[in-house]
Amino acid sequence: MAKAKDTKTPKAPKAPKAARAPKASKPPKDKDIAIRVVIEGRVQGVGFRWWISEWANGRGLEGWVRNRREGTVEALFYGPESVVRHMVEFCAEGPPNARVRNVKEYNDESPDDPGFIERPTV
C-alpha cells in the first residue's frame, strides 16, 4: 500500500508589524457644552416645545424649552457638543407646521435641574 503524500498548503507569512492595520481606537468623547437658542418665525401654536422636548429627551440632553411673550421659542441645550450642535441645527427645521425664520445662538451655562423640561411662558 502506498502512503499518501502530505499535501498541506504552507501558511502565508504574517505581514510585518508596520504593514498591519492599526487597532481601531474609540473616538474622543465630546466635551459638554450649553447653548441657548431663540427661535423666530411661526413657532408658537405648532407644537414646537413638545417637538423639542421629545428630540432633546431622546438624545439624553439636559435643559429646557419655553415660549416667550413676543412670539419666539427659547431653549437651552446641555450635553455632548456634537449632540447639542445637531439639536441647534435641527431647530432651524422645526416641526412640520412651523416656519422658522431665524435661530439665534448663545453660549450659556449648564441648567440647574437635571433632565429636559418645558418651562412656563415668560
Alpha carbons 55 and 115: distance in angstroms, whole number:
12
* Residue 97 appears among annotated catalytic residues: no
Collapsing DSSP to helix, strand or coil, 114 comes out as coil
User: Which grid cell sits at 28?
Assistant: 474622543
Among 36, 67, 68, 101, the one annotated catalytic:
67
Among 49, 59, 97, 99, the one annotated catalytic:
49
* Residue 67 appears among annotated catalytic residues: yes
Contact 75, 37 (CB under 8 A): yes
Please give the positions annotated as active site.
49, 67
